[in-house]
A and B are shown apart, each in its own frame.
Chain A
Amino acid sequence: MQQFTCPYCGPRDQSEFTYGREATSVPALDASAAEWQRFVYERDNPAGPHAEWWHHNHGCRQWLEIVRDTLTHEVLAIRAARPPEDRG
């Protein structure tokens, strides 16, 4: 099974994590319909590095940003989503 190395928990099976979404920024609430259309429906779907939000729901329960190669499943980067000043 694929493993992700959680910054808090260390290497864990992928089955402990839940995929959130592509790690792009969310449009402002009053953004145009065209911007929301692009955010909701028009994915880049890259063959290669892809930044993603994952939730370690069966572990430390924090959100992580993972850069994952969609061709090889190699994890290129993994970090806690919360800013460093909030990590205690």
Chain B
Amino acid sequence: MLERRSALAAHPLLQPGKRVGLQPVGAAAVTLSERRPLTILQVSAFARTVAEAGIHLAGALELELPEPNRLCSDRRKSLRAIGPGVWQAVGDEGAVPTAAALRATLSGVATVVDLSHARTALQVSGPAAARTLAKHCGLDLYASHFPTGSATNTRFGHVGMTLARLDDAPTFELLVFRGYAEFVFEALAEAAAEFGLQIVT
């Protein structure tokens, strides 16, 4: 088993308690952190086996099957519907089945690709989190349009990402290509600077 190393491990901004920009009275309005280690499995059903794949996948994860562009979760894992017959299972290591185990469960009805090493998960949280993200994302991030439990593929600048709203803080989670992690992290830090930023390591 290869050792998992964060794409941001050596980043100078990732020092404990680091703050950038204006210091608001009270808590920083935006908290930025990396969530790891995380298991990310992408499941794609074959054309004629979408319904069957969904049932088996939900069973394997012991979660409900989410509606399009929504997620279903418990404390340690979630299942996101991000396309027709396409889901992502995301969770703490050990909380999600291994790719091999899920592949066996879904044999003949879906493919399973392990993206754990290929993505960096960033969390943006706090009262100004939506305004921070809005500088780089064209989605309507208001709670009325993108409420807690939403999860979808969209864009961060020119980079594709899977964006989810995890809670009412609000906390947004961004899954981005590992190779873009530094760019996205720095762009978020700069976007949040005017609101007061705390980076949690």
The residues of A with any CB-CB pair to B shorter than 8 Å are 1, 8-10, 12-13, 15-16, 57-62, 80, 82, 85-88
- Chain A interface secondary structure, helix, strand, loop or mixed? loop
Are A8's CB and B83's CB within 8 A?
Answer: yes
Chain B residues engaging chain A, CB cutoff 8 angstroms: 45, 47-48, 50-51, 54, 68-69, 82-86, 138-139, 152-155, 160
Question: B54 contacts which chain A residues (CB < 8 A)?
Answer: 88
A-B contacts counted at CB < 8 A amount to 56
Question: Within the assembled complex, what's the spacing in Å between the Cα atoms of A58 and B153?
Answer: 6
Give every chain A residue within 8 A of B50 (Cβ-Cβ): 86-88
Complex Cα gap A1–B137 (Å) = 13
Kindly report which residue of chain B lies nearest to residue A1, judged by CB atoms. Answer: B138
Q: Are A9 and B69 within 8 A (Cβ)?
A: yes
Contact A62 B155 (CB under 8 A): no
Determine the chain B residues whose CB is within 8 A of the CB of A59 once the complex forms: 83, 152-154
| Interfacial chain A residues near B138, Cβ < 8 Å | 1, 12-13, 15-16
